[in-house]
Structure 1
Amino acid sequence: MDIHEYQAKELLSRNSVQIPRGGLAYSPEQATYRASEIGGGKWVVKAQIHSGARGKAGGIRVCESDKEVSDAAEAMLGRKLVTNQTGPKGKLVSRLYIEETVDIRQELYLGIVLDRKSERVMIVASASGGMEIEEIAEKEPDSIIRVTVDPGGGMQQFQAREIAFGLGLENKLIGKAVDTLMGCYRVFRDYDATMLEINPLVVTGDGNLIALDAKMSFDENALFRRPEISELRDKSQEDPRETFASDRGLSYVGLDGDIGCIINGAGLAMATMDMIKIAGGEPANFLDIGGGASPERVSKAFRAVLADKNVKAILVNIFAGINRCDWVAEGVVKAIREVGVEVPLVVRLSGTKVEEGRRILAESGESVIVAETLAEAADKAVEALRSASGAKAS
């Protein structure tokens, strides 16, 4: 789960990380009021969406008058901002963050991520802030500092000092850098984050260290014990298909194809999508219904897949071990009758109670295309899709 910049900054500010003064606005009038509250003669108006690279897309503007603040807010609010991270559909801007400007002397990069290879938390830092980390790695790989943190002992002060010295900071800034690094790690650890990025972390003209931007992502599996983080969720920034599925306990990732997939097991789901591609089709989603799929859960999976209007065919592929094919078959029949499946449906069942499952499908009287193998199922799904598309064109 991602959160907005202003929310991440609020969490950081509670843990010894300095941030610029700012305020939230939902209208041009509120934006000018926030600017007057902050004071001064120059402000930054920032679109709050779950994406980086906002500045390049016009989502961050420096303003020098109330009118400029109002005009910038008018131009952003209620519109979709398209960045190189949002995809062509963009994301809706429904709130703005109005912030004081900062006298920037130096820009740094700081990130904290879960490194699954080393099974450790990794601190990534660079003296080349302001760029995406991929760009830094390509152009200035030697500037990147990487430090792994042992989960048993947590981040140590000496590690923070090593990073601060590695960034080439002046001696008088080392203490502030250590406080900032330790504060960032505490936020990352205490809220079950999976990613924290400050880009840029700036050294100001008066010798302060300030987080000018902040992005955070959290482990959704840990949200049950972090209610204060769950409350920060903004569903308007999420793929509505994924939101619909996650609210019903389904593991779903939306894709751009037209063959909906209902599978049990992540590995089998990946293999199924590969087979669809090999057969000449495009999967519309990754969906893992899990090991103990009841008929009700299968029906929910159908609703989630059909919520995507691009889906023109559905492939159900179940290998039943913990699961049972007769349960899945009952769920398929229930979905057809209750949800209304108007697209070609291919079902491949294998494993526990497979004969019973196939009998239920055969005796249901519903239009179901049955396949014996995964390859056959993928071929039949693509063939059924093309036949249905051809019939509609005619």
Structure 2
Amino acid sequence: MVSTGTESTRLHDPSVKGFASDNYSGIHPEVLAALAAANGGHQVAYGEDAYTARLQEEMGLLFGRDLEVFPVFNGTGANVLSLQSLLPRWGAVICASTAHINCDENGAPERVGGMKLLAVPTTNGKLTPELIDKEAWGFGDEHRAQPLAVSITQTTELGTCYTPAEVRAICEHAHSLGMKVHMDGARLANAAASLGVQVRDFTSDAGVDILSFGGTKNGIMFGEAVVALNPQAADGLIYLRKMNMQLSSKMRFISAQLLALLEDGLWLKSAGHANAMAARLRAGVETIPGVQCTQPTESNGVFAILPDGVAGRLREKFRFYDWNEAAREVRWMCSFDTTEADVDAFIAALRAELG
């Protein structure tokens, strides 16, 4: 639908959905309503507004402690800001080799954040105290960037979830070595829905110092939040946010969206639905001869290896990405607006491609 004047202009078919990324989805209707409700009139700019103040209160209740919240534009900004606040200029970050900060942020942690990443190979995207120790050495050596922070992703880039006990073990080990812990929570809600525990069980209560709280992958238009769960561990966030061009003048519209997610548990309901659709997808595709699932489906992603040529033909109908092209491994992601009919149509198309 293309129209002129004050009428809406639609340049896409809203019935078409794919399985490439939960970033592809639109905005949850309740979030759109919250944006409209936050519009009109004047509110103080740069975060001195009623919505950002309420977000601070709601986050405090969610994580069960005094904390500081810094809404930002995007996930890369949230990660870079979080890590910068934990480190001196000579600091380094231990992370999984598959971590988003290592693979998908185009060098922003190094170039913008000015830190070195010490990436460790893992089998399932998850660090352990033993894996951390592979790079947690050289303290006091002037020739080595100092490993002073650990970054973990929840859920991981491979769709796996850290249990509260696993996060606690990492935090205790890191803290014992004088390191701080950051969690990239781009899909934090999917982890909470999958684990069936309070989010504080694997964040604030487990010892995480700072968190990137995701929203874009869970139904908001734009925005994430840096949550300093241990404000004493994070330094200079109010300055770093501006320096890194992550300070929104009309911050109320980021905060209003995040508030909409938290209200009545929408963030968990949406993530739980996405997880359920991924489980349905996994159950359907793993019965098809020739499809080999490669990772546990613990959140809203399914990873699989397909026979040669199948992915290309299937992509003519559904958009999705290669994960490891050399191994013919692909990734399928589900979103808050993925339906059972969407999943079943995809399964049927894959089954037809494989004869």
Q: Same fold (TM over 0.5)?
A: no
Q: TM-score normalised to the size of structure 2?
A: 0.26
Structure with the larger RCO, 1 or 2 (CA within 8 Å, 6+ apart): 2
Q: TM-score normalised to the size of structure 1?
A: 0.24
> Structure 1 or 2: larger strand share?
1
Larger radius of gyration: 1
